[in-house]
Structure 1
């Protein structure tokens, strides 16, 4: 039996079959990881920890991108 996990990214629900970490998630959705802030289950996560945090069922992830301008 496959363990399917449901997680939320910016309020939208997604499903995954394989274990992925936050770094892989950022890469999959093609975010520029230099210009964002990532919140995982209500905690801001330091970029150096993204490869060590794997998505679990019902996780809530919020990504805020930083946009420059004048």
Structure 2
């Protein structure tokens, strides 16, 4: 199946979970990443059980703190 990850189309195996995609994509600091699928946020506790579907668009978001 084909999904889009951070703007790039990728062929991936059927049954791929968000948790496995985070590993496959070598996401830095995965404990701090927020994931959206088709512009909808996925709870971090649901990464293991959320299975991606053909045509899904996945984005990894990092919220940075800072300022004064």
- TM bin, normalised by shorter chain, reads 0.7 to 0.9
Alignment of 1:47 onto 2:44: yes
Give the 3-state SS of the residue equivalent to 1:38 in structure 2. strand
What is residue 24 of structure 1 aligned with on the other side? 20
Q: Aligned partners of 2:13, 2:49: CA distance in 1, in Å?
A: 18
The structure 1 segments of at least 4 consecutive aligned residues displaced by more than 6 Å after TM superposition are: none
Three-state SS of the structure 2 residue aligned to 1:44 is: strand
Residue 3 of structure 2 aligns to a residue in which SS? strand
TM-score (norm 2): 0.82
Partner of 1:11: 7
Structure 2 residue runs without a partner (length 5+): none
Q: Give the root-mean-square deviation of aligned CA atoms.
A: 1.6
Matches of 1:17 and 1:46, distance apart in 2: 22
